[in-house]
Amino acid sequence: MSNAEKARTLFGISLSDRPKWQQFFICSSGFFFGYLVNGICEEYVYNRLHFSYGWYFTFIQGFVYLILIYLYGFTSKQMVNSWKTYVKLSAVLMGSHGLTKGSLAFLNYPAQIMFKSTKVLPVMLMGSFIPGLRRKYPVHEYVSAVLLVIGLILFTLADAQTSPNFSVIGVLMISGALIMDSFLGNLQEAIFTVNPQTTQMEMLFCSTLVGLPMLIPPMLFTGELFQAWTSCSQHLYVYGVLVFEAMATFIGQVSVLSLIALFGAATTAMITTARKAVTLLLSYLIFTKPMTEQHATGLLLIAMGISLKIFLDEKSNKKTSNSSPIVNIPKPSEHKELTAQLDYAGEDGERRPFV
């Protein structure tokens, strides 16, 4: 195990010296907690208060992130990548957050969840084109992703009290968010791959600090900055909700980055998609809602998709472990290529662009 791998931690909890299933459980627990709270807060702010200021709320969230990172003890002196490495990442990160939150003003929940549930598919496709990754996924991973997506859409529509409400502006916004999501996870994985010494805190700190100024033009162009300032000034407790949401999302975001570093962008996208199904299922268990045949079909497809991936991945890992140890020894050319990638990521990250 390399020194970089030994350094992989999550809020002080060492990950690299643990079995894969423990790494997965710890990271997934942080992610589920953070984004469950995030979902509750968004439901309250957007649907109860009817405040749909996606760019402004993302701006506030970014400031809370920077404060939490400072309190955590991270500074720019601990960076191992150049600032240029994070320019593209920051643009897609802020764009994705802003468009996703802003689309709630034009789409209802069933319509948005239908689009966001497909996230894993563009992430997998884009992973084939990102330099530094060039991932080729086996057929069973695409099949399991499709089953997961269809199952979640069926379950969500069965739960919806209203039909999906589509708006042209909303569809354009959520489609733009999906395109940016497809770049986001793969860019993050590429940075972790090219320079394994990159920490989750560095990535979140740099992408947030570089990305915050990018939110100002759309806020001014749409007039949202002044509208949001006026509305929130009349309801100051909204800031309390936003800060609490950002603190919980911070835990979820760092956990997601840990999942990407350890398991890759596509697996993480499947986990984030499955999280939506778990959230909906928990609501049925807690509030004892009636289950329909469509609910059962959706859950069955979700379970089939997850089981297919786990079973075939485990089978593939067993074949690899039973093969000759000589196969796992890196070739000299591979070692030179990796060394060259790490050298490129040092002084000037722009010399090896990720897109």
Write the DSSP string, 136-163. ---HHHHHHHHHHHHHHHHHHHHH-SS-
pLDDT confidence of residue 331: 44
- List Cβ<8 Å contacts ≥24 apart for 125-131: 125/182, 126/182, 126/183, 126/186, 127/186, 127/189, 127/265, 127/266, 130/183, 130/186, 130/187, 130/189, 130/190, 130/354, 130/355, 131/190, 131/352, 131/353, 131/354, 131/355
Residue 194 scores a pLDDT above 50: yes
Which residues lie across from 14 on neighbouring strands?
9
Q: Indicate the DSSP class of residue 347.
A: S
Q: How many CB atoms lie within 10 A of CB 323?
A: 10
pLDDT confidence of residue 244: 92
In this prediction, residues 182-206 reach a mean pLDDT of 87
Tens digit of each residue's pLDDT (9 = 90 or more) over 273-318? 777 666 666 656 655 566 677 777 877 887 777 777 666 666 665 6
Tens digit of each residue's pLDDT (9 = 90 or more) over 124-150? 777 777 665 666 777 777 787 788 778
Residue 67 scores a pLDDT above 90: yes
Question: What's the token pair of residue 214?
Answer: 């990018």
Rounded CA separation 334/229 (Å): 54
Q: Coil, strand or helix: which one is 30? A: helix
Question: What's the token pair of residue 83?
Answer: 């600032």
Distant-in-sequence, close-in-space partners of 295: CB < 8 Å, separation ≥ 6: 155, 158, 159, 284
pLDDT confidence of residue 109: 61
Rounded CA separation 158/292 (Å): 8
Count of residues making up the chain = 355
Tens digit of each residue's pLDDT (9 = 90 or more) over 226-279? 988 988 888 888 899 889 989 999 999 899 899 888 888 877 877 777 776 666
Could you tell me if 127 and 186 are in contact, meaning their C-beta atoms sit under 8 angstroms apart? yes
Rounded CA separation 134/132 (Å): 6
Tens digit of each residue's pLDDT (9 = 90 or more) over 109-121? 666 766 777 777 7
pLDDT confidence of residue 91: 86
Question: What's the token pair of residue 173?
Answer: 């916004």
Residue 327's Cβ-count burial label (10 Å; 0-12, 13-18, 19+) is exposed
Tens digit of each residue's pLDDT (9 = 90 or more) over 11-57? 888 888 888 888 888 998 898 888 888 877 876 776 667 677 878 88
pLDDT confidence of residue 283: 58
Question: What's the token pair of residue 178?
Answer: 């999906």
Residue burial 101-119, b: 16+ Cβ < 10 Å; e: rest:
bbbbbbbbbbbbbbbbbbb
Among 216, 256, 190, CA closest to 62: 216
pLDDT confidence of residue 145: 77
215 pLDDT tier (thresholds 50, 70, 90): confident
The residue with tokens 């589509």 is 166
pLDDT confidence of residue 51: 73
Rounded CA separation 352/216 (Å): 28
pLDDT confidence of residue 7: 62
Tens digit of each residue's pLDDT (9 = 90 or more) over 326-353? 444 444 444 444 444 434 444 444 433 3
Intra-chain end-to-end CA distance of the chain, in Å: 30
pLDDT confidence of residue 39: 74
Backbone angles phi, psi at 10, to 5 degrees: -135, 105
pLDDT confidence of residue 285: 64
pLDDT confidence of residue 251: 93
Tens digit of each residue's pLDDT (9 = 90 or more) over 72-101? 889 888 898 888 888 888 888 888 877 887
Backbone angles phi, psi at 132, to 5 degrees: 95, -15
pTM more than 0.85: no
pLDDT confidence of residue 247: 93
- Which of 159 and 94 is assigned the larger pLDDT? 94
pLDDT confidence of residue 232: 85
pLDDT confidence of residue 324: 44
Number of Cα atoms under 13 Å in the Cβ half of residue 351: 11
Residue burial 205-219, b: 16+ Cβ < 10 Å; e: rest:
bbbbbbbbebbeebb
Rounded CA separation 119/266 (Å): 10
Residue 1 scores a pLDDT above 60: no
What residue type is assigned to position 278 of the chain? V
Could you tell me if 187 and 313 are in contact, meaning their C-beta atoms sit under 8 angstroms apart? no
